[in-house]
Amino acid sequence: MEVFTREYFLEFKEPFKIAHGVRKGTDCIHVRISIDDYEGWGEAVLPPYLPENKQSVLQFIKQLNLSCYNQDFDLNEVLDYVMNSQPENFAAKAAVDIAVHNLYASIHKATIHSIYNLDLPEDAFTTYTIGMGTIKEIQTKVKFASNFKLLKVKLGGENDRAIINAVREITDKPICIDANQGWETKKPALEIINWLATQNVLFIEQPLRKEDFTGHKWLKQNSPLPIIADESIQIFEDLEKVKDCFDGINVKLMKCGGIREIYRILQIAKQLNLSTLIGCMSGSSCAVSAAANLASLANYLDLDGPLLIKNDCFCRIEYSESGIITL
């Protein structure tokens, strides 16, 4: 295998605001892994709230030695080597994992979902994210997304009720809420969740700080709506921590280290009766299409990253007007 990397900046169509802050785009590293005439591309998406950056990803990829693998390589053997080569570095590992899966699929004339004996459901659809902003900006976004089946509204700021009221002036369709750890304590959080339960909301993602497991457990026991972990779950081993404190989980390639890791997490989540979302980190269609291959294993898809950026340099995913995904 030969490895090539390049730096890239994914630009948002419009500045994106959530409870952590506002930004214009996202750094990423693309990796191409090739054998003979076959190649596979992967992507590490690096929003500023994650511990990795372009330098750490490039260093991680540089220390890998994949030159011993030829066209007959064993997928699991390569992925084991990548996962065990260093601790942490999950976005870097995901980039390599995506590239290796694509390379393997290309050599074997397969698709990534077929490698895992999965189908790609014809009606798999993504939520569309409504970031924070002024009431006018939020209503413009909701109107733009009028054909999407399900909206994900970012809350966790000062004027949450005003935001929902503004959304409800435009549409009565189901929405889900992502508070991005924005609510300080459990009791005021429950108060607003009780109100949101009257607003055709399906679930609440990450209401409290990621390390507040007791607060989330209390919310799970008292909330009329399912409570979903996002920032509180990163890797496979975190399932043990979240399983009694949340009703479901949001898994992402960049958090856990790749497609095989998401597959493992979703298998166990099902056994634990956790509902599941596959999410993304505002990546291009390179990373997001890789995650979409596991669509049949999740209850919800939050894979609208390519819709929010203006310089996707891959063309691996298409969305219908209602958000239905085709690879």
User: Which residues on neighbouring strands pair with residue 301, listed in sequence order?
Assistant: 126, 278
Eight-class DSSP state of 89: -
Which range in 5-13, 131-139, 222-230, 293-301 contacts Mg ion by CB under 5 A?
222-230
Two tokens, residue 164 = 């929902």
Cα dihedral 250, 255, 256, 262, rounded to 10, equals 40
Looking at beta carbons only, is 40 or 306 nearer to Mg ion? 306
Instruction: Determine the length of the chain.
Output: 327
Which residue sits closest to Mg ion, CB atoms considered? Answer: 230
Give the interface size with Mg ion as a residue count (CB under 5 A): 3
- Min dist CB 230 to Mg ion, Å, is 4
- Min dist CB 208 to Mg ion, Å, is 13
Which range in 120-128, 173-181, 251-259, 308-316 contacts Mg ion by CB under 5 A?
173-181
Instruction: Out of 43, 160, 230, 261, name the contact with Mg ion by CB under 5 A.
Output: 230
Cα dihedral 51, 155, 265, 186, rounded to 10, equals 100
Looking at beta carbons only, is 113 or 205 nearer to Mg ion? 205
Looking at beta carbons only, is 88 or 231 nearer to Mg ion? 231
Instruction: Out of 178, 212, 247, 312, name the contact with Mg ion by CB under 5 A.
Output: 178
Two tokens, residue 188 = 């005021």
- Min dist CB 180 to Mg ion, Å, is 6
Which range in 32-40, 79-87, 144-152, 204-212 contacts Mg ion by CB under 5 A?
204-212
User: String of b and e for 246-266 (b: at least 16 CB within 10 Å)?
Assistant: bbbbbbbbbbbbbbbbbbbbb
- Min dist CB 159 to Mg ion, Å, is 19
* Residue 304 in contact with Mg ion, rule: CB under 5 A: no
Looking at beta carbons only, is 10 or 82 nearer to Mg ion? 10
Annotate 124-155 with DSSP letters as a single string: -BB-EEE----HHHHHHHHHHTTT-S-EEEE-
- Min dist CB 47 to Mg ion, Å, is 11
Two tokens, residue 28 = 């990423």
CB-based contacts of 101, cutoff 8 Å, min separation 6: 40, 75, 112, 115, 258, 259, 260, 290
Looking at beta carbons only, is 178 or 312 nearer to Mg ion? 178
Looking at beta carbons only, is 97 or 230 nearer to Mg ion? 230
Which residues bind to Mg ion, rule: CB under 5 A?
178, 205, 230
